[in-house]
A and B are shown apart, each in its own frame.
Chain A
Amino acid sequence: MSDIVLELQDVSKTYPSEAEVLRILNGASLALSRGEKIAITGESGCGKSTLLNIIGGLDTPDAGTIQAGSFSVHALSERDLARYRSSYLGLVFQFHYLLKDFSALENVMLPAFMAGVSRKEALERAKELLADVGLEHRLHHFPSQLSGGERQRAAVARALVNRPALMLADEPTGNLDPANALMIQDVLFSAADRHNASLIIVTHDPAMASRADHLYRLQEGRLVRS
């Protein structure tokens, strides 16, 4: 079995605008090993989130290939994309994106259900993860009853529930105060270590970037290792 969790080759993406065609990604390539943690930085609007969306199968590249384990992400059907997102990937966004009508516990359990995990097993995993992020006393609270930091911690727990091989975090601490930001960093990195998951963090926070194994900078549509 290959130790490469993710391999990007010459990924390009353009967005047409009124004045010109914006070339956001221009032959971006990357190879990520199991358990490896990298941070990607770059100026605002340089394409960091677009790159993460393409890796997450939320967006499609104009050219290039993305191989994640057995998934050829650039060419997956809707059905396989759903399977890829539920079984291989854990996504954390800048905004928590919890479902408002579901409790914290249910929000964390949902991806497990989608991956075909039994209810009992999903419940155990969700409770354990919520305890790991310090929310064991908030299991049945709805997102509107949680603070901003608590919501983001619940979102991290949700991303981890299917024990993904690859975690993508798009400025996960962007909306948080320093104390909560630090807690989220700890949770993300320790969870990645515990599950031997690879982690890609897009961040503007130098402190967070410094905790990664490697730092990449997105420059003129390409990933440059710092």
Chain B
Amino acid sequence: MRMGVSVLFALRLMGIGSRLSLSNARKSLIGAVAGIGISLVPLIAVLVVADGMIEGISGRIIELSSGHLRVADYSGLSDASGDAGALESLRAELPRYSASIADAAAERQGLGIAIGPKGRSGSTIRAVSDAFFSRSFGSDGFLRMVAGTGGAPEQGEAVIGEKLAETVGLAPGDRIRLLTIHRSPSGKETPKFASRTVRSVVSSGYQELDALWVFVPFASDSSILDPDTAHSFISVYTDDPYGDLSGVRDELLGSLPDGFDCYTWKELNRSQLQSFNTTRILLLFIMFLILCIASVNVSSALVMTVMERRKEIAILKSIGAHPSDIAFAFVLAGFFTGLGGVVAGLPLGILCALNINEIFSFLEQVLNGISGFAYALGSSSSSAPPAAVKLLDPAYYIQGIPVRLDAAELYLVAAGTLLLSSLVSIFPALRAGSEKPLDTLRKV
């Protein structure tokens, strides 16, 4: 029952179960609870939003760009690598090599310039199989049609990204001109123009991708791109892209023609994934520092509590409490303070994260309102109105911030907070445990 004494004393230090009296130390402990709670809100929000954004961007990249696995012959040893027909035949064969393969799409991808009535823009021209569109426009796909006719482009047609369409001034039905470079057998490079009708304008929700892509049909238009300056590959899709893909890769490697290799999406996007993770870790580290500062409040509140409760500590010792019982009570008080912060901060953080789009929108409205008001008060007739404030420029981020709640991460945050609160309580706890009862009782 000795632990019961520590638990009971810790609860009473927090004011739980005793008559309500708000001493300075108790106010400090309540402040420390609030500090922990408030510091958890941005931590949870950043964690949830960062995870959602990384998963959202990664999802778009692997579904729309790299595929779950990529089969390619970058060595040039195989004849099939530059031959569209041979590549298409290999694509049709792939599902037989592994039961985990759900679909595959052949692609030739190269750089070019897209030209429209408003101007020109560097673009990535992608000659892709119909399978790519049936996946990407499906219910789980990441392509959304903004304007035009749905489905894959037919011969003489192109599907272009929304941002690109806006930049060069194209709409469905317009003609887009594509400039690519072709290399002759002698090594001389010449420009080649091709003109296609815009079938539809699409968006991946990620403007960085939408600003580049021009899709044309693989079967008829892969010749727009010179096999020597473009690269050809097959994007392979599985049922579980986030699972372990090494088994599928090994099965494919065992069956592919000479020269072909197989890469998982993690290998293909390693630098980008590392960049995302580094950013995420840095953000979390900054938030963790805020939490550490809040935890220091716990420590200082407990030091104040020790000073205020010296008499009670002395009494407990005089009636038989061991120093470790007293110290443990103060560590528990720190733990309970952290627990209070977690109980308050975790739901609030989740709530903020779930409504992050609305919060940003509201903040943008407030900032624009203030900016507009300031302009109206102090503007001269010649000065231009201020540009609208965008907290997250959609040119660089997904247009709607996705939110992903990971229970394991939330448990980890809660456990880490409780551990931190307990650790910072050790110093005041040791101080409480080492109090000499007689010194205090003499002064009472």
Which residues from chain A sit less than 8 Å from chain B, CB to CB? Answer: 53, 56, 58-59, 78-79, 82-83, 85-87, 89, 91, 93, 95, 97-102, 106, 110-119, 122, 142, 144, 158, 162
Q: Besides A82-B321, A85-B320, 16 other CB < 8 A contacts? A: A82-B317, A82-B320, A82-B323, A82-B325, A86-B320, A91-B318, A91-B319, A101-B12, A101-B312, A111-B320, A114-B2, A114-B5, A114-B322, A115-B320, A117-B1, A162-B320
Contact of B320 among A59, A83, A119, A142 (CB under 8 A): A83
Q: A163 to chain B: closest CB distance in Å?
A: 13
Q: Is B441 an interface residue (CB 8 A)?
A: yes
A residues in contact with B311, CB < 8 Å = 97
A residues in contact with B320, CB < 8 Å = 82-83, 85-87, 89, 111, 114-115, 162
Contact of B322 among A59, A79, A87, A111 (CB under 8 A): A79
A residues in contact with B8, CB < 8 Å = 102, 106, 110, 113
Q: Is B186 an interface residue (CB 8 A)?
A: no
Q: Is B438 an interface residue (CB 8 A)?
A: yes
Contact with A along B199-235 (1 / 0, CB 8 A): 0000000000000000000000000000000000000
A residues in contact with B325, CB < 8 Å = 82, 114
The 8 closest A-B pairs by CB, nearest first: A86-B320, A101-B18, A82-B322, A101-B12, A113-B1, A85-B320, A114-B320, A58-B438
Report the Cα distance A93→B440, complex, angstroms: 14
Task: Give 8 CB contacts A-B under 8 Å.
Answer: A58-B318, A78-B322, A102-B8, A102-B18, A110-B319, A114-B1, A116-B1, A122-B1
Report the Cα distance A117→B320, complex, angstroms: 13
Q: Is B444 an interface residue (CB 8 A)?
A: yes
Q: B182 to chain A: closest CB distance in Å?
A: 87
Most A C-beta atoms less than 10 A away, residue of B18, B319, B323: B319
B316-A144 in contact (CB<8A)? no
A residues in contact with B323, CB < 8 Å = 78, 82
Most A C-beta atoms less than 10 A away, residue of B1, B2, B316: B1
Q: Which residue of A lies closest to B11 (CB)?
A: A101
Interface of B is mostly: helix
A113-B318 in contact (CB<8A)? no
Most A C-beta atoms less than 10 A away, residue of B322, B323, B441: B322
Q: Is B188 an interface residue (CB 8 A)?
A: no
B319-A114 in contact (CB<8A)? yes
Q: A23 to chain B: closest CB distance in Å?
A: 19
Report the Cα distance A101→B8, complex, angstroms: 10
Q: A174 to chain B: closest CB distance in Å?
A: 14
Q: B18 to chain A: closest CB distance in Å?
A: 4
A residues in contact with B319, CB < 8 Å = 85-86, 91, 110-111, 114, 158
Q: Is B437 an interface residue (CB 8 A)?
A: yes
B317-A118 in contact (CB<8A)? no
Q: Is B19 an interface residue (CB 8 A)?
A: yes
Report the Cα distance A106→B319, complex, angstroms: 13
Report the Cα distance A110→B7, complex, angstroms: 12
B315-A102 in contact (CB<8A)? no
